[in-house]
C-alpha cells in the first residue's frame, strides 16, 4: 500500500488510544522507518511497550482536609472505575497526559487558598490483578495573606470608588483568582461609564518575613465613548425588530459594558440563536464635536426554532396518553399571506410563540392552540391568544366534562420581576353522562332500548340522574374579564432553587345558561398562587406552596349554580398527593361516590428536594388542602405525607414517581398511594 505520513501518524495515535482504553497505563508506541535499497518501498517497525494494565479502584489523598478532597474531585479529570457506567463514560482509565493537567489544577486550587508554595505529587500503585490505586500527596507549605492594597494612575474615578469596587482587603487569604477578579471589576467600573479602552494591571511585592503580598493596581484611563451604529449580522430569518426589542443599547447612549453583556444574555435566552456575540468595533473620533463614538456589532448564529413531534407517556391520572405537538418559537404571523409562495420560511423570524397540541388519553382528550407576541407593536406589552377543546372524565368515569373556549391576554412588565395585565376568556361547558357498563342489565334490553340510553333512566343511579339534570341546567357559556398581577424572582423556569413566584387574579364573570328554567347570574372568581424556593443546602431546595382560590356568586347565584367546569378540585399528583384526583371535598352523594368540587379551595405544601446526582432528585413532602361549597371558607383540611424521585430525561420532561400516605382520609376510595407521570 502507498505510504502516507499523515495517515501513518493518525494510525499510530489510534494504536496508542486503543491500549489506553484497554487500561494500559503509560503505554509507549514508537516506530522505526527503514528505506529499502533500490526500491520505492519502506519497512515500518512499530514497537509497543504496554506497561502494566489496570483501572483506578481507589483514590487516596495524603495531606488534604475532608473539604479539600471534595472540592478537588470537582477539578480533576481522573475518576474511580465504575463497573456500571465506565464502559460509557470511560472513567477509571488513567491517561498519562491528564496527570500534568490534574496536578496543575490541584496546585492552582491550593494556591487560591493561600498556599503559594504548594507542591503536589501523583503516583500509581498496582495492588491486585487489574486494580490500581492513585495516590495524591500534598506538601502545602505556609499560608500567605494580603497586606497593603494601593492604586496608581487614576484620575477620573476617586480612590474611594476604586476601594468600593474591589472584593479583597487587608488580611485576606492570598488568591491569584480573586486578584484577577478585582482587576476585572476595576476595569468594568470604567467601561460601564464609557471608558472602554481603559487598561488595568497589577504588581505583587512579596514580604517574605510576614508571608504577605502588597498589591498595586495601576490604571491607564481612556476617553469616554458613546454608542454609534448598532449593526446586525447573521439574522437571515429573524427580523431586525425582534433583535432590537431584546437589546439594552441605543445609538447616542454612553457606552456601557454592563448593557453589552445584558444584551448578549437576553439574545441568548430567546432560544433563536446558537451563538451570540456583541462587541465594539470601529471606535473613531468624530471631528465635528470631538466626541468619541464606537459602533457595536451584534453577531448571531440562528438555529432551528420549530419542531413537529409525537409524544407519549403515562401517569397515575390518565394511564397511557399520546398526541402530536407542533411548536414554533420564532413564529411570524404576518408571513401567513406568503406561506404558499415562499414556503415555511415565510412564517419564521417574527419572535412570536406558536404551539398546536393535540392529546388523546384514556380519560382526557384535548386540542389547544397558543400564540404569544412578547413585544406587541414593538412595545413591552405581551399579547397572547388561546383556543382549547377538551373532553375529560378524569374526575369520574360516570360523567365527562366537555369544554370549548378561548382567551386573549395582555401583560406588561413593570420591572424584571413584576408584571400586570388583563385577560378575557369565554368558555362553553356541557356535562355528559357516560353509560354505565352493566352486562346483566344490558342483556335484558332490546337493540332499540340500547340505542335510547338517555330514555332508559332505570339504567342510571338516581344521584347521577340528579347530577345530570342539575348540570344540564347549569351548563352554558361563561365569559369573564380579569386583572392579573405576577411576581417572579426564581432563578430557573423549569427547576427553581431560589426565589418567589406569585400570581394573583381577580375576575368578574357571568354565566349565560343554555336553559331558560334557571336565571343567568354574575360571579367573582379570584386566586392567589404562591411558591417560595430556598436553597438550604448545596444540593437541597425547600419549596413552600400556598394557593388560595375562591368563587363568590353574586345576586341570585349560589355554589350549586356554578358549573362543574368552573369549580375547584383537589387531589392527584399535582396537588394533595396520596389522594385520587378530585377526591377531597364534597361528593355527589347517594350511591355515586364522585367529587362535585367546591367554590373555596386552599392548598399548602412543603417539599424538600435533594439532588442525588445530576439527573436524579429525591423528595419528601407534606401536603394539606381543603374544598368547600361555602363562600370564602376553609373547609375540613385533608393532609398527606410521602416521598418520591424525579429523573430529568431532557427536554423538560421529567419522570416523577412517588408514594403518598393520607393522614386523615374518610374512606379507602379516596386513597391513591402511588403517583407517577412521564412523557417523552
Place of cell 413585544: 375
Distance CA 137, CA 69 (A): 11
Composition of the chain by helix, strand, coil, percent to 5: 20, 45, 35
Upper half-sphere CA count for residue 258 (Cβ side, 13 Å): 8
385 or 48: which carries more pLDDT confidence?
Answer: 385
pLDDT digits (tens, 9 = 90+) for 562-612: 888 899 999 988 899 999 888 898 887 545 567 888 999 999 999 999 998
Torsion sign (Cα): 65, 71, 73, 75: negative
According to DSSP, the β-strands at 306-315 and 319-331 are antiparallel
Distance CA 275, CA 277 (A): 7
Q: Which residues are CB-neighbours of 185 under 8 A, at least 6 positions away?
A: 165, 166, 167
According to DSSP, the β-strands at 212-220 and 145-152 are parallel
Q: Which residues are CB-neighbours of 39 under 8 A, at least 6 positions away?
A: none
Residue whose C-alpha is closest to residue 56's, from 135, 111, 151, 141: 135
Are 321 and 361 in contact by the 8 Å Cβ rule? The answer is yes
The gap from C-alpha 24 to its chain's centroid, in whole angstroms, comes to: 41
Query: Which grid coordinates are listed for 336?
Result: 401567513
Continuous H helices in 112-250: 159-165, 176-191, 240-244
Distance CA 363, CA 317 (A): 8
Domain ranges for the chain, please list them.
5-49, 55-139, 145-220, 225-302, 305-373, 393-679
| pLDDT band at residue 441 under the 50/70/90 scheme | very low
According to DSSP, the β-strands at 119-128 and 131-139 are antiparallel
According to DSSP, the β-strands at 499-513 and 476-488 are antiparallel
pLDDT digits (tens, 9 = 90+) for 449-489: 555 544 444 444 555 555 555 666 677 899 999 999 999 99
Q: Which residues are CB-neighbours of 108 under 8 A, at least 6 positions away?
A: none
According to DSSP, the β-strands at 654-662 and 638-648 are antiparallel
pLDDT digits (tens, 9 = 90+) for 320-377: 778 888 989 999 999 988 888 888 888 999 999 999 999 888 788 999 999 999 999 9
Q: Tally Cβ neighbours within 10 Å of residue 232.
A: 15
Distance CA 90, CA 482 (A): 57
Where is average pLDDT lowest: 120-129, 201-210, 434-443, 612-621? 434-443
Query: Which grid coordinates are listed for 31?
Result: 516506530
In CATH terms, are 225-302 and 393-679 the same topology? no
pLDDT of residue 290: 47
The gap from C-alpha 5 to its chain's centroid, in whole angstroms, comes to: 49
Angle 108-113-116 from CA coordinates, rounded to 5°: 60
Distance CA 82, CA 412 (A): 52
| Eight-state DSSP code of residue 321 | E
Q: Estimate the crossing angle of helix 257-269 against helix 176-191, to 10 degrees.
A: 100
Q: Which residues are CB-neighbours of 227 under 8 A, at least 6 positions away?
A: 249, 250, 251, 252, 253, 254, 255, 293, 294, 295, 296
CATH label, 225-302, candidates 3.40.50.970, 1.10.3720.10, 3.10.20.310, 1.10.1050.10:
3.10.20.310
Residue whose C-alpha is closest to residue 560's, from 615, 597, 608: 597
CATH label, 393-679, candidates 2.40.160.50, 3.30.530.20, 3.30.465.10, 3.40.30.10:
2.40.160.50
Distance CA 401, CA 631 (A): 23
Between the alpha carbon of residue 296 and those of residues 143, 209, 270, the distances in Å are 45, 50, 20
| CATH code of domain 55-139 | 3.10.20.310
pLDDT digits (tens, 9 = 90+) for 20-38: 666 566 667 777 877 777 7
pLDDT digits (tens, 9 = 90+) for 53-71: 667 888 899 999 999 998 9
Question: What is this structure's pTM?
Answer: 0.71
Place of cell 477620573: 156
Torsion sign (Cα): 403, 404, 409, 415: positive
Distance CA 177, CA 268 (A): 27
pLDDT of residue 321: 75
CATH class (in words) of the domain with range 145-220: alpha beta
pLDDT digits (tens, 9 = 90+) for 371-425: 999 999 989 999 999 999 999 887 677 677 889 999 999 999 999 899 999 999 9
Residue whose C-alpha is closest to residue 153's, from 191, 202, 206, 194: 202
Tell me the backbone φ, ψ of residue 362, rounded to 5 degrees: -65, -35
Q: Which residues are CB-neighbours of 633 under 8 A, at least 6 positions away?
A: 600
Amino acid at each position: 500500500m502507498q505510504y502516507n505520513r499523515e495517515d501513518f501518524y493518525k494510525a499510530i495515535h489510534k494504536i496508542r488510544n486503543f491500549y489506553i482504553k484497554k487500561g494500559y497505563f503509560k503505554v509507549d508506541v514508537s516506530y522505526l522507518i527503514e528505506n529499502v535499497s533500490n526500491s520505492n518501498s519502506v519497512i515500518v517497525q512499530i514497537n509497543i511497550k504496554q506497561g502494566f494494565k489496570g483501572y483506578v479502584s481507589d483514590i487516596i489523598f495524603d495531606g488534604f482536609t475532608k473539604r479539600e478532597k471534595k472540592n478537588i474531585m470537582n477539578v480533576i479529570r481522573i475518576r474511580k472505575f465504575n463497573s456500571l457506567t465506565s464502559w460509557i463514560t470511560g472513567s477509571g482509565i488513567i491517561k498519562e497526559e491528564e496527570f500534568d493537567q490534574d496536578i496543575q489544577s490541584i496546585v492552582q486550587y491550593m494556591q487560591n487558598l493561600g498556599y503559594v508554595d504548594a507542591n503536589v505529587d501523583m503516583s500509581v500503585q498496582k495492588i491486585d490483578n487489574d486494580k490500581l490505586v492513585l495516590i495524591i500527596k500534598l506538601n502545602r507549605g505556609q499560608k500567605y495573606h494580603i497586606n497593603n492594597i494601593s492604586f496608581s494612575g487614576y484620575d477620573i474615578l476617586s480612590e474611594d470608588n476604586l476601594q468600593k469596587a474591589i472584593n479583597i482587603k487587608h488580611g485576606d487569604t492570598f488568591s491569584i483568582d480573586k486578584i484577577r477578579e478585582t482587576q476585572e471589576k476595576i476595569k468594568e467600573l470604567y467601561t460601564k461609564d464609557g471608558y472602554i479602552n481603559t487598561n488595568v494591571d497589577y504588581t505583587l511585592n512579596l514580604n517574605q518575613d510576614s508571608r504577605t503580598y502588597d498589591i498595586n493596581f495601576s490604571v491607564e484611563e481612556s476617553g469616554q465613548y458613546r454608542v454609534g451604529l448598532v449593526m446586525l449580522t447573521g439574522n437571515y430569518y429573524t427580523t431586525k425588530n425582534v433583535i432590537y426589542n431584546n437589546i439594552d443599547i441605543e445609538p447616542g447612549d454612553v457606552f456601557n459594558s454592563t448593557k453589552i453583556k445584558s444584551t448578549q444574555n437576553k439574545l441568548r435566552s430567546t432560544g433563536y440563536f446558537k451563538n451570540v456575540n456583541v462587541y465594539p468595533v470601529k471606535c473613531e473620533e468624530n471631528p465635528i464635536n470631538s466626541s468619541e463614538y464606537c459602533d457595536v456589532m451584534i453577531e448571531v448564529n440562528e438555529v432551528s426554532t420549530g419542531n413537529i413531534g409525537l409524544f407519549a407517556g403515562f401517569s397515575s391520572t390518565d394511564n397511557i396518553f399520546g398526541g402530536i405537538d407542533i411548536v414554533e418559537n420564532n413564529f411570524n404571523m404576518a408571513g401567513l399571506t406568503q406561506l404558499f409562495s415562499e414556503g415555511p420560511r415565510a412564517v419564521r423570524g417574527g419572535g412570536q410563540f406558536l404551539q398546536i397540541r393535540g392529546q388523546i388519553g384514556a380519560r382526557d382528550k384535548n386540542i389547544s392552540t397558543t400564540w404569544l407576541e412578547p413585544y406587541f407593536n414593538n412595545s413591552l406589552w405581551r399579547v397572547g391568544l388561546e383556543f382549547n377543546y377538551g373532553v375529560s372524565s378524569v374526575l369520574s368515569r360516570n360523567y365527562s366534562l366537555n369544554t370549548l373556549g378561548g382567551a386573549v391576554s395582555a401583560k406588561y412588565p413593570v420591572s424584571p420581576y413584576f408584571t400586570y395585565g388583563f385577560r378575557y376568556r369565554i368558555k362553553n361547558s356541557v356535562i355528559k353522562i357516560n353509560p354505565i357498563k352493566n352486562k346483566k342489565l344490558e342483556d335484558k334490553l332490546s337493540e332499540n332500548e340500547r340505542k335510547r340510553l338517555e330514555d332508559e333512566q332505570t339504567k342510571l343511579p338516581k344521584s347521577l340522574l340528579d347530577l345530570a339534570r342539575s348540570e344540564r341546567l347549569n351548563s352554558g357559556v361563561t365569559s369573564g374579564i380579569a386583572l392579573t398581577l405576577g411576581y417572579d424572582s426564581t432563578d430557573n423556569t423549569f427547576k427553581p432553587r431560589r426565589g418567589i413566584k406569585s400570581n394573583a387574579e381577580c375576575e368578574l364573570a357571568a354565566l349565560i345558561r343554555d336553559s331558560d328554567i334557571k336565571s343567568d347570574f354574575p360571579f367573582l372568581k379570584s386566586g392567589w398562587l404562591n411558591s417560595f424556593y430556598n436553597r438550604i443546602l448545596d444540593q437541597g431546595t425547600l419549596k413552600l406552596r400556598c394557593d388560595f382560590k375562591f368563587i363568590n356568586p353574586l345576586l341570585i347565584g349560589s355554589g350549586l349554580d356554578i358549573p362543574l367546569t368552573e369549580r375547584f378540585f383537589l387531589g392527584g399528583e399535582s396537588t394533595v398527593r396520596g389522594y385520587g384526583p378530585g377526591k377531597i371535598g364534597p361528593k355527589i352523594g347517594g350511591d355515586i361516590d364522585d367529587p362535585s368540587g367546591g367554590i373555596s379551595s386552599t392548598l399548602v405544601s412543603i417539599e424538600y428536594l435533594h439532588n442525588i446526582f445530576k439527573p436524579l432528585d429525591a423528595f419528601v413532602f407534606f401536603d394539606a388542602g381543603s374544598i368547600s361549597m361555602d363562600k370564602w371558607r376553609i373547609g375540613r383540611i385533608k393532609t398527606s405525607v410521602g416521598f418520591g424521585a424525579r429523573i430529568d430525561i431532557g427536554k423538560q420532561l421529567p419522570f416523577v414517581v412517588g408514594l403518598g400516605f393520607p393522614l386523615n382520609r374518610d374512606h379507602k376510595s379516596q386513597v391513591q398511594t402511588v403517583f407517577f407521570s412521564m412523557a417523552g
